[in-house]
Amino acid sequence: MRATRYAAPDSVGDAVALLAGAAGRGRVLAGGSDLLVQMRAGRIEAELVVDVKRIERMTTLSHDARGFRIGAAVCGAALAEDALLARAWPGVVEAVQLIGSSQIQGRASLGGNLCNASPAADGVPALVTAGARCVVAGPAGEREVEASQVATGPGETSLSAGEILVEVLLPDPPPRCADAYLRMTPRSEMDIAVVGAAARVWLDERGRCSAARVALGSVGPTVREVHAADAILAGGALDDAALARLAGAARDATAPIDDLRGSARYRTRVAGVLARRATLIAYARARERR
């Protein structure tokens, strides 16, 4: 595999400088489960590989009054081991845990999943419904961007050349609010999602749905939000009629393609099914929270 240089800086500033020096021919290496596969297959060529796993900020998961600060290179397995995060954001954590096998979990990161910008990325729908924000560092300094704005198309991000996604920020969820993520794969594990659905449900004091957010993966070039979900579900009971309307709205929100992992027709159909099921799980979880 051809990479003429490898560097492992220990600060964000150094990493940014290294990438700037490579004039667009450098790549960030976090877990490598996307980058190395694509380099080996010849789909990506990189003159410089910048390994960010020795940058403490990018490999640390912390929590304070403002919520969770997740280093973009923290591996999925480490995320899942954080009890606080798993309790607060079960949907995000279960989504990350679905990114590949146990071996991939030992490497794959939220940052990599976001920046690889696969339409089928498991990490993205739940970050969208969570309202996650990302800290991006570059030659011009640092900025924050909504997680939903990182991917702009298959393999394309809104990051400019030389920018690095450094951290993912998640607030503490309000009470009586929970999320969930489901996906459809032909096998029980190991597959790229044919459809992914994240749902987040807020309940009022009487346990009725007060707000909802649903986002779908693998049914468009980037994540598709089901904007009608809130209008359909808020203020009412999650009865069969509402859920059927939600499923319909989810199907309408898709813009899928036929590819070797699924047909557009199948994806559309299943998007409705998973939107409904994920919403029910989020609802059940929200009810358990006071």
Contacts with another protein by CB under 8 A lie at 1-6, 8, 29, 31-33, 36-37, 39-41, 49, 51, 53, 75, 77, 100-107, 184, 186-192, 194, 260-263, 266, 269-270, 273
Minimal distance in Å, beta carbon 101 to another protein? 2
Judge residue 221's burial from the number of C-beta atoms within 10 Å of its C-beta, 0-12 exposed, 13-18 middle, 19 or more buried.
middle
Minimal distance in Å, beta carbon 63 to another protein? 22
Minimal distance in Å, beta carbon 212 to another protein? 20
The amino acid occupying position 167 is: E
Minimal distance in Å, beta carbon 206 to another protein? 30
Phi (first) and psi of residue 6, to 5 degrees: -130, 135
Structure tokens at 70: 């997740």
Structure tokens at 208: 């009725």
Minimal distance in Å, beta carbon 106 to another protein? 4
Minimal distance in Å, beta carbon 286 to another protein? 23
Whole-number Å distance between alpha carbons of 64 and 48 = 35
| Most distant CA pair in the chain, distance | 62
Query: Closer to another protein at the Cβ: 31 or 173?
Result: 31
Query: Closer to another protein at the Cβ: 3 or 17?
Result: 3
